């Protein structure tokens, strides 16, 4: 299913670039929301000194704006590419992988007003899924 998620996000980006209709994009986005909900995704943790923190992508220019997306990965290969990128950017840290379903990740951060959602396979793809759209229609 996780490979399917990568394919779906790439398909969405291609359709968007080629001027697909809003209806086509909305249908595919809805399917992606379902796949994210059920998929086991890889989360990056970074150990700096004695602290281990989840890697987050901060959004906003202002110091008081701490909104963020959590980057998640559909495969270990994608996660390793991100570790290489983040290591070059940050220059330090020990990265570890953890896994959780999209539903569990969103539920864990649902009370945090600054949490916006997930970034799938960032920085390579960086497809954004907002937390409030991740769901399963069968529930």
Residue 112 has pLDDT above 90, yes or no: yes
Digit-coded pLDDT (tens) for 24-55: 999 999 999 999 999 999 999 988 778 888 98
- What pLDDT is stored for residue 128 in this prediction? 94
pLDDT at residue 94, rounded to an integer: 86
Query: What is the percentage of the chain residues whose pLDDT exceeds 90?
Result: 65
> What's the pLDDT band for 125 if we cut at 50, 70, 90?
confident
What's the pLDDT at 3? 59
Q: Which residues contact 25 (CB under 8 A, 6 or more apart)?
A: 12, 15, 16
Query: CA nearest 42: which of 33, 31, 54, 53?
Result: 54
């Amino acid at each position: 299913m996780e490979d399917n998620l990568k394919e779906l996000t790439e398909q969405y980006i291609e359709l968007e670039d080629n001027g697909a209709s809003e209806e086509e994009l909305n249908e595919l986005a809805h399917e992606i929301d379902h796949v994210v909900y059920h998929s086991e995704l890889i989360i990056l943790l970074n150990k700096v000194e004695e602290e281990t923190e989840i890697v987050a992508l901060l959004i906003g220019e202002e110091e008081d704006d701490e909104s963020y997306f959590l980057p998640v990965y559909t495969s270990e290969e994608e996660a390793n590419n991100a570790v290489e990128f983040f290591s070059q950017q940050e220059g330090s840290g020990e990265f570890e992988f953890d896994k959780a379903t999209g539903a569990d990740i969103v539920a864990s951060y649902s009370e945090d007003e600054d949490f916006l959602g997930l970034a799938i396979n960032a920085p390579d793809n960086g497809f954004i899924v907002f937390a409030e759209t991740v769901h399963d229609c069968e529930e």
